[in-house]
């Protein structure tokens, strides 16, 4: 059990969030830890996963309802939810939940919490995940990854996802470098959905994520959008 003072603190924080969302015209951004507290302590709270059905089947938060925000009928399907009850929304990394949160606000939902970092950040934080009916197959084990990155030649790892807009934006640059710099660096793209367990083991909780290895050691790490010139500079630096 939590000490009385900690319970009081939780109540104050949650109360502040609830009061803020009631008057907000847009969603309140919350961390996975705050979302977890909301889901455990706020009565009748709703949980919405706006990823694809395939992503949902690979794992999701317990008691989540799945409505794909990219479904043309998404707005119509919001009628399945109660606009008067508080709601936490999440996707893989945050971009789709932001879009969904805006649509929810326009649809009359006044207590919306957009979970920053999405499922990636949640699972990377060690919070409870409910495995789906079709767990991901073909993922790389930590042992395989360790052997791969033990090379004396630089190895650049790109954690991406098909449904991550920044990831897709980076792919052409990654593929270009893979082709042009094949003699200098080995570039490997890993699908986050298929390699979620490995990502958690490596502490990857946001994508796109780039890790440069040499002789089994991380020599450089970056998150989000990276300029081509930065990649080239870092590859030269570790050779």
pTM here? Answer: 0.69
Q: Which CATH number do you get for residue 57?
A: 3.40.250.10
The SS3 of residue 83 is: coil
pLDDT at 152 over 70: yes
Name the percent of the chain lying above pLDDT 90: 67
- Has residue 232 been placed in a domain? yes
10 with 120, same domain: the answer is yes
Same domain, 119 and 147: no
Residue 134 lies in a domain: no
Q: Within a domain: residue 66?
A: yes
Whether 164 sits among the annotated catalytic residues: the reply is yes
Q: 62 and 158: one domain?
A: no
Checking if the pLDDT of 186 tops 50, the result is: yes
Instruction: Identify the CATH number of the domain in which residue 194 sits.
Output: 3.40.30.10
Is 91 in the active site? no
Asked whether residue 135 is domain-assigned, the answer is no
Res 4: pLDDT: 47
Position 223 scores a pLDDT of 92
Domain boundary among 124, 155, 173: 124
Query: Where on the phi/psi map is residue 160: left (φ > 0), alpha (ψ -120 to 50), or beta?
Result: beta
DSSP helix/strand/coil, 146: helix
Sheet holding 217-223: strands in order across? 186-191, 155-160, 209-214, 217-223
Q: Note the pLDDT of residue 137.
A: 63
- Give the domain extent around 46: 4-124
Structurally, the chain folds into a number of domains equal to 2
Q: Is 136 part of any domain?
A: no
Per annotation, catalytic residue among 9, 22, 91, 164:
164
3-class secondary-structure state, position 162: coil
Catalytic residue among 9, 22, 91, 167: 167
């Amino acid at each position: 059990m939590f000490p009385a003072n900690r319970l009081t603190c939780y109540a104050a924080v949650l109360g502040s969030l609830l009061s803020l969302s009631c008057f907000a015209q847009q969603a309140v951004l919350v961390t996975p830890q705050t979302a977890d507290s909301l889901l455990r302590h706020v009565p009748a709270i709703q949980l919405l996963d706006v990823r694809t059905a395939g992503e949902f089947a690979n794992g999701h938060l317990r008691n989540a309802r799945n409505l794909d925000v990219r479904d043309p009928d998404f707005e119509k399907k919001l009628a399945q939810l109660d606009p008067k009850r508080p709601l936490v929304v999440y996707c893989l990394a945050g971009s789709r939940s932001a879009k969904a949160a805006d649509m929810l606000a326009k649809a009359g939902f006044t207590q919306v919490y957009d979970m920053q970092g999405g499922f990636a950040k949640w699972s990377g934080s060690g919070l409870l995940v409910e495995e789906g009916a079709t767990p991901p197959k073909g993922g790389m084990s930590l042992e395989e990854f360790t052997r791969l990155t033990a090379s004396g030649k630089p190895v650049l790892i790109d954690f991406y996802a098909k449904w991550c807009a920044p990831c897709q934006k980076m792919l052409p640059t990654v593929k270009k470098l893979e082709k042009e710099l094949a003699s200098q660096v080995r570039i490997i793209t890993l699908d986050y959905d298929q390699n979620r367990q490995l990502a958690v083991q490596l502490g990857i909780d946001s994508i796109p994520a780039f890790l440069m290895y040499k002789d089994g050691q991380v020599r450089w790490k970056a998150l989000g959008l990276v300029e081509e010139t930065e990649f080239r500079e870092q590859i030269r630096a570790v050779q």
